[in-house]
Amino acid sequence: MKLFITVQNKTVPVYSDEKNKKKLNLLISALESKVVKGKRAIKKCLDSLISIEIVGCEAILHSYNETDSLALSLY
Q: Which amino acid is at 70?
A: L
From 1-5, 7-11, 37-41, the region with the lowest mean pLDDT: 37-41
Q: Is 1's pLDDT higher than 90? A: no
Q: Please, which pLDDT band fits residue 51 given cuts at 50, 70 and 90?
A: very high
Q: Is 15's pLDDT higher than 90? A: yes
Number of neighbours of residue 39 by Cβ within 10 angstroms: 8
**pLDDT at residue number 53:** 94
Q: What is the Cα–Cα distance from 21 to 49, expressed in whole angstroms?
A: 21
Q: Which amino acid is at 15?
A: Y
Q: Please, which pLDDT band fits residue 8 given cuts at 50, 70 and 90?
A: confident
| Residue 29 neighbours by CB under 8 Å, 6+ apart | none
